[in-house]
Structure formats: structure tokens, C-alpha cells
Chain A
Amino acid sequence: MNRRRVLIGCVAFLILCLIAPWAAPYNPLQEVGEALAPPSADHLLGVDWIGRDILSRVLHGGARTLIIGVLALFAAILPGILIGVSAGWYGGWWDWLVVKGLNAFLAVPGLLLALVILTLVGSGAGQVAFAAGIAQFPMAAQISRAAGRSARSFPFVEAARGIGVTERGILIRHVLPNLARTLIGISVVSLSWTILSASVLHFLGFGGDPAIPEWGAMLAEARQVYRIAPHVALSPGIAITILLLVVNILAEYITHPSKA
């Protein structure tokens, strides 16, 4: 497979997810068909338990899921990566402090941490994004720390030190650009994890208003009726697997370009 084509395909898919709501045939919040009707020409994926068009809800849910993931990325993962890289790079007391702190965070399972944070900040999409991000933050910071640490012995770092560039200058001018691929890889892997945990939190009912289309919440609703109308559960489930597959493949292609 052509590497460039796979990359473009993945990115194109993600952009399609973001603009998909405009392609939705119906209002995802409105009752437009007979409850639990199977797929038909009018409703390609069928109708859910109170008569809303599933296709429209799935298309809206994708954009929502991605936006929550990206919010989590900016709220918790990117700060985590910066903390990790700087700890690995500078070492000393800062590194010691970060490692001890991260260990304490890592000792609490991600979902548990997210649930504790949600009891603190209440439910809702923004809150879920924040909680899912925090849950993934220690892992991202730890991997970034290893990357920052490995940069200390790069030959060009020693060369820059030799000609008298300051440590901070080396970090910003040389180390960060060189670690860019690794750090973007970590971000994309974390994105897949935050999307996953955000959808689990929605499934568990912490996403706020359950009428708002989100795949995890849709599946939770569909579980009430899956014995009589299994098609209601299939669409959001398949949708989230496809989205996560694309994000994971993207991450794989960024971190291991040679194997592609």
C-alpha cells in the first residue's frame, strides 16, 4: 500500500467526519419516523426507539466525538507532553517531581480517575473531554518523558552545546523539531484513547443530555431495545470502530513510517 495514499485517506476521512452533519438528511433531535422501524429507503439505517433517524444521528455523532477528542488533546494531552518532554530533557529535581507525580496518577486506573473527576465537575460534553484527557495524561507524559530523555544524547545536541547554545535554546530550536514526529505520534495515539474513554463515559451516562447524538450514548440507549431491534445498536458501534481504526492506523503510520 502506498504510504502517502493511506495518510491522505485517513486525514480525508477525519475531515469528512467533521463536515458529515451537513450531509444528514434529517434533524437528529426530531422524531421523523415510526419508532424502531428497520432500514428503508427513507431511513437508510433505520429509526431509533423514539423515532429519530439513525443515519442523521450517526453523522452528527462523529463530529461530536472527534471534537471532544481534540478538546481533550488540547486540555490535557498537550500540556502532558510538554511536561513530560521538559522533565526528560532537564532532569534533576523537576524530573524527580514529575516522575513521582505521574506514578501516583498511573496507580489510579484511567476510567476511575475520569469518574472521580466527573463527580467533581458534573456531567456534560466539555466535562467528559476534560476527564478523558486527564485519564490519558499520565501515559502521554510518561512516553514523552522517555523521548525527551533520549534527546539528551543526540549528537547534534552535544554539538549545539559545544558552540554555546543555552539548554532552553537547544530544547526549542533543535530538540522539539526533531522529536516532532514522535510527539505527533503520541498525540494521535492519545487521541484514539481519549475518544475511546470519552465514548465509554458517554455510554455510562455522564455525557449530559442523552438526546444529543453521541455514539456511546446512542449505544447505551440502543441496549434497552436490542432484543427487538438490533439494528439500532449496530450503526453507532460500527461507526466508532471505523473512526478509531482510522485514528489508530494514522498513529501507526506516523510512528513507524518504515513498516508501512
Chain B
Amino acid sequence: MLALATRRMLNALITIWLAVTLAFILLRLLPGDAFTARLSLSGASQTQIESRRALLGLDAPLLNQYVSLITNLLQGDLGYSLVSGRKVKEMILEPFGSSLVLAGGAMVVGMVMGASMGVTAALGRSRLSRVSAWLIAFASVSSPIYWTSTLAILLFSVGLKWLPSIGAGAGIRPLILPWLVLGFTVSGGMARLVGTVLNELKDSDFARTARAKGLSQKRITYVHLLRAGAGTIITFIMLQIGFLLSGTVVTEMIFVRPGIGTVLLSAIHDQDFPVVQGVVILSALIYCISITIAEVTAGLLDPRLRMSSL
């Protein structure tokens, strides 16, 4: 078990390093940068621009820039924004909590909605309930988040006036619509996965034994079947985190909620590459941590996986 965990961690480090390198290469291909553009707009002379660029290390050879990026990263330093001059780490970590609340809540909503749709689609009593659960799951994967949010705002904020259309402010009320919308977007994939897993497992030997023992169908479904499929489902949930991050960007924009997404969109707009690079590194880090957790948990739950991956 320890060997597996160490191996996974090593793999995660390699992945993060490759993702950082990928971001470095992509972003250095950019023709201009925000810094130079802003300085020339403000009327700075060519020599002034050059001296400032030298100060930030922007004119150093690429290899040197790369080496200093990696050494800085190892010390937890993400550099400075080219637009505001602020520390990238601060710019990203400050709104991180707000994005985490949005994404985390949406994940819970999505998993509960997805699991119940999947259970109904696979084991629902009537054909009607099975088909409708299946159709809702399909509608979820077929609706872009900007459209479901617009529809939700039209219905619940403009029409019924139940909830605010702005996702910021104190309390839980402003968060309800963003949570529901983002949760619905994530739920479709979850529903289809749970449905497939249950369809595969419902005729297995242990399910038949449990039924013969006289256990209720509910107990069999939630305790026996879903636990047997837990490895697959946990891995899927962890893989959804990247997708969730993408959804968070759009949700924050539509519900005018400050967060990583708004920071990212304006950084992209301004070609502020240290900030974009910081977000890429942060998401790679989150991805690797969640994948490692998923793999180790799956190994804990299913001894076969532990053996085969060693």
C-alpha cells in the first residue's frame, strides 16, 4: 500500500512538472505581453521599457527563464502580475476560497442529483421513471452551462423573483442558483456512470445472494451495489474536478461572482501570462492531488487493483 502511494505521488510530481513545462512553452509563444503593451501605452521610452523588462527577467534567454520559473516554483513563488504588479500567489489564493465554496457545493449537488438519476434510470420501478431519468441525464450533458444559467435566472430571478441573479454577497441565498446550475451540469455524466455501473452489477452473484437473504432493494442498491462500484465512481468524481473548474469560470462570470474564474478571464484578456500560468499550475496541482486520492482509495476498496498496479 505504501509502495503504491509513493509511486502515485512520484507520478503526480512528473505530471505537474510536465504541465508546468507545457504552460511555459505555450505562454512563451505569445507574440507580445501585457507589460510591454501597457508601458508603451503610457508613453515610456524604449530604454525605459527595456530596463523594466530586464528587471522582471523578461528578456533573459528562455532556458534561464525556465530554470528560474522552476526554482521559484519549488520555493512556492509564482512571480508577479504584469498588469497590477501584485504577487500572482496572492491574486490566485485570495479568491480561491470563494471559488472552492462554489465548486464544492456544486459538486455535492451534482453527485446527489446524478446518483439519484442514475439509480432511477437503472432500477426505477416503471418504464416511465427509467426513461425520464435517462432523458434528464441526457439533457444535462446536452445543455451548455451558459444556457442553463440564463434559463435559471430567467425563471427564478426575473420571473418568479425567488432568488437573486447575482451570486455574490453574504449568506447562502446568492449561492443557491449557481450551485444548482453548476451541479446540474456535472450531474449528467455522474448519472450515466452510476446507471451503467448498476446495470452491470445488478445481476451479479452477490446481489442475488443479498436478495435471497431478504434484504430490501433499497439496502441492496445503496449499500451493496454502489459500494461495489465505488472505485469507478470515485475515480470519475475526481476526473470531474477539471470539468468543474471549467464550469466554475463560466458560472462566476454569469452570476458576477468574484473568484478564480474572473481573475483568469481578465488575465487572458490582458495577456498577463504569469497569472494564467499560476492558474494552470494550481489546477494541475488540484488535478494530481485528486487523482492520487482516487487511485489510493480505489486500491483500498478493491484489493485486486492494489495487486495489479504494483
Interface residues of A (CB under 8 A from B): 100-101, 103-112, 115-120, 192, 196, 199-200, 203-204, 216, 219-220, 222-223, 226-227, 230, 233, 236-237, 240-241, 244-245, 247-249, 252
Contact = CB atoms under 8 A, between A and B. Distances in A.
B146 A120 contact: no
Contacts of B22: 104-105, 108
Contacts of A203: 144, 146, 250
Interface string B55-72: 000000000000000000
A222 to B, nearest CB: 8
Nearest to A105: B22
B288 interface: yes
B158 A110 contact: no
Interface in B114-156: 138-139, 141-147, 150-151, 153-154
A241 B143 contact: yes
Contacts of A226: 150, 153-154, 158
Interface string B7-41: 00001001110110111001101100000000000
A242 B150 CA distance: 16
Contacts of A247: 142
A107 B288 contact: yes
B249 interface: yes
B147 A241 contact: yes
Contacts of A241: 139, 142-143, 147
User: Which of B26, B147, B158, B243: most chain A CB closer than 10 A?
Assistant: B147
B144 A109 contact: no
Given A101-B18, A204-B253, A107 B283 contact: yes
B97 to A, nearest CB: 19
Interface stretch (B74-82, B88-96, B205-213, B264-272): B264-272
Contact of B145 (A101, A119, A200, A252): A200
B30 A216 contact: no
B276 interface: yes
Contact of A108 (B29, B265, B280): B280
Contact of B15 (A103, A115, A117): A103
Given A196-B144, A227-B158, A249 B242 contact: no
A249 B135 CA distance: 10
A119 to B, nearest CB: 5
Interface string B245-261: 11001100110000000
B280 A200 contact: no
Interface string B140-180: 01111111001101100010000000000000000000000
Contacts of B21: 104
B142 A192 contact: yes
B27 A204 contact: no
Given A103-B18, A119-B276, A248-B138, A108 B283 contact: yes
Contact of A109 (B30, B245, B271): B245
A112 B279 contact: yes
B184 interface: no
User: Which of A222, A233, A241: most chain B CB closer than 10 A?
Assistant: A241
Given A115-B264, A119-B276, A227-B158, A107 B144 contact: no
A245 B279 CA distance: 32
B30 A119 contact: yes
Contacts of B27: 116
Given A112-B279, A226-B153, 17 more contacts: A103-B11, A107-B16, A107-B284, A109-B243, A110-B242, A111-B245, A112-B246, A115-B264, A115-B268, A117-B26, A200-B250, A216-B144, A226-B150, A233-B150, A237-B147, A237-B150, A248-B138
A223 B150 contact: yes
6 contacts: A105-B19, A107-B19, A111-B249, A120-B30, A192-B142, A244-B142
